[in-house]
């Protein structure tokens, strides 16, 4: 299986609802909890009582499937991979003056297949879909997830249907078409795409992998957390900043840390998690700062960070719980601030990062200036994708 020697299989037991505790069979197709009182995202549940030594990772290929025991694919022949994961941790070099007193790093996801962190979740979801016999997969997307689904579905010989807002940059649309996906452009936002695709999926028997409305994209995204722990020598940073649209990665990283602690690979220390949103869609920030447990629908229109235009994340309750459990924070960044950060980072660090990642740099500076980030703390920012795909949005 693409040079991955699987010494033991997945430790997957079943799927569990984190709210009501209901359990579901992972061998069949599932979406969200069927309990009308919660309809929560389902979490893959593993047998973490089995002894696993960190030494098993030594000599494994540098991709996300190095953690296959904690991923949901039972039979390795069903893994659909293009080499995603194990992206680099890059320290600040020429912007250290703005970070005096802190060690500040990027985890740069731009080198993933199709240029973003979406490759992780889509690899896991498409692999599991292949394993349970799914023939057609559909998703709404703000851009990167659509291209990733198109690529991985092509690799798996599965039909892909992508619903995308018309205002999405052309490169994302061209990418989907080149990989052979069926692309449907919608005059609206990702929520509008989601409503339509839900109707059409039922009528056409498509399996939806909308963000956090199925269990397995989360499992791919959580490998970010595994890698962070391993790359920081099993001592987690003090603060992690994450651009939050749907929030899958933020939830996944937190889930990964919990699983690693249960295995005994890390201790109970956790980073403070920071959700960074666009001013255009700031529902999580408003809810967090207002002490609420759910967010309200918030859509102020176009933002250069297409991935942050998510008016109401499906798993808003879980996102807000992670922020509170971690004693974290949430703040918004304007498009002008993102644009300035893209240029500052490109001209000083040689990295052309996505607007979503650029928002984190501005958020870091604000948190440092307010002394929320303390001297001596180690800070990690997750750049979720390549700025090359957003050139249409950036005023150079």
* Consecutive H or E run containing 103: strand 103-108
First to last CA, the chain: 44
* Consecutive H or E run containing 127: helix 118-131
- What angle, 0 to 180 degrees and rounded to 10, lies between the N-to-C axes of helices 118-131 and 144-156? 40
The stretches in the chain having pLDDT less than 70 are 1-8
Residue with tokens 């889930």: 255
Q: Which of 61, 179, 209 is nearest to 114 (CA)?
A: 179
CA distance 82 to 147: 13
> Could you tell me if 176 and 150 are in contact, meaning their C-beta atoms sit under 8 angstroms apart?
yes
Q: Determine the pLDDT at residue 93.
A: 96
Q: Which of 353, 379, 375 is nearest to 364 (CA)?
A: 379
Q: Which of 365, 125, 348, 85 is nearest to 228 (CA)?
A: 85
DSSP 214-232: SSHHHHHHTHHHHHHHHHT
SS3 assignment, position 33: coil
Q: Determine the pLDDT at residue 7.
A: 57
Within 13 Å and on the Cβ side, how many CA atoms surround 229?
Answer: 26
Q: In Å, what is the CA distance from 6 to each residue of 13, 65, 185, 197, 310?
A: 18, 9, 41, 36, 37
> Could you tell me if 26 and 32 are in contact, meaning their C-beta atoms sit under 8 angstroms apart?
no
Spatial CB neighbours of 100, under 8 Å, sequence gap ≥ 6? none
SS3 assignment, position 353: strand
DSSP 306-336: GGG--SS-TTHHHHHHHHHHTT-EEEEE-HH
CA distance 331 to 368: 13
> Could you tell me if 298 and 251 are in contact, meaning their C-beta atoms sit under 8 angstroms apart?
no
pTM of the model: 0.95
Q: In Å, what is the CA distance from 277 to each residue of 7, 196, 303, 363, 388?
A: 41, 25, 10, 10, 21
Question: The dihedral of CA 249, 250, 256, 257: what is its sign?
Answer: positive
pLDDT tens readout for residues 245-257: 999 999 999 999 9
Q: Determine the pLDDT at residue 202.
A: 85
Q: Which of 165, 183, 63, 171 is nearest to 111 (CA)?
A: 63
Cα three-residue angle 72-126-355, rounded to 5 degrees: 105
Q: Determine the pLDDT at residue 198.
A: 87
> Could you tell me if 33 and 317 are in contact, meaning their C-beta atoms sit under 8 angstroms apart?
no
SS3 assignment, position 356: helix
Q: Determine the pLDDT at residue 3.
A: 42
């Amino acid at each position: 299986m693409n040079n991955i020697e699987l010494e033991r299989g997945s430790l997957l037991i079943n799927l569990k609802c984190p709210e009501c505790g209901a359990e579901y069979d992972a061998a069949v197709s599932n979406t969200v909890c069927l309990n009308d009182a919660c309809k929560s995202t389902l979490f893959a549940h593993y047998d973490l009582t089995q002894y696993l030594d960190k030494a098993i990772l030594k000599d494994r290929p540098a991709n996300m499937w190095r953690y296959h025991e904690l991923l949901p694919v039972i039979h390795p022949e069903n893994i659909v991979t293009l080499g995603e994961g194990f992206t680099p941790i890059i320290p600040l070099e020429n912007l250290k003056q703005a970070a005096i007193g802190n060690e500040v790093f990027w985890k740069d996801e731009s080198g993933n297949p199709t240029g973003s962190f979406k490759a992780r979740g889509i690899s896991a979801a498409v692999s599991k879909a292949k394993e349970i016999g799914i023939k057609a997969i559909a998703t709404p997307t703000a851009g990167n997830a659509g291209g990733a689904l198109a690529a991985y579905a092509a690799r798996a010989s599965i039909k892909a249907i992508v619903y995308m807002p018309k205002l999405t940059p052309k490169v994302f649309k061209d990418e989907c078409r080149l990989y052979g996906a069926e692309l449907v452009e919608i005059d609206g936002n990702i929520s509008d795409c989601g409503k339509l695709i839900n109707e059409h999926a039922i009528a056409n028997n498509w399996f939806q992998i909308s963000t956090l409305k199925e269990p397995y994209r989360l499992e791919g995204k959580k490998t970010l957390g595994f890698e962070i722990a391993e790359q920081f020598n099993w001592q987690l940073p003090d603060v992690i900043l994450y651009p939050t649209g749907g929030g899958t990665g933020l939830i996944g990283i937190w889930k990964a840390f919990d699983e690693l602690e249960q295995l005994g690979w890390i201790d109970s220390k956790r980073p403070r998690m920071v959700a960074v949103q666009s001013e255009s869609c700031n529902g999580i920030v408003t809810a967090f700062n207002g002490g609420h447990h759910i967010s309200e629908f918030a859509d102020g229109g176009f933002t250069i960070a297409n991935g942050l235009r998510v008016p109401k994340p499906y798993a808003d309750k879980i996102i807000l719980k992670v922020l509170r459990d971690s004693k974290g924070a949430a703040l918004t960044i304007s498009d002008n601030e993102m644009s300035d950060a893209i240029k500052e980072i490109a001209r000083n660090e040689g990295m052309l990062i996505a607007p979503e990642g650029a928002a984190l740099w501005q958020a870091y500076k604000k948190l440092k200036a307010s002394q929320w980030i303390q001297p001596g703390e180690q800070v990690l920012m997750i750049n979720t994708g390549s700025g090359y795909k957003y050139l249409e949005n950036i005023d150079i």
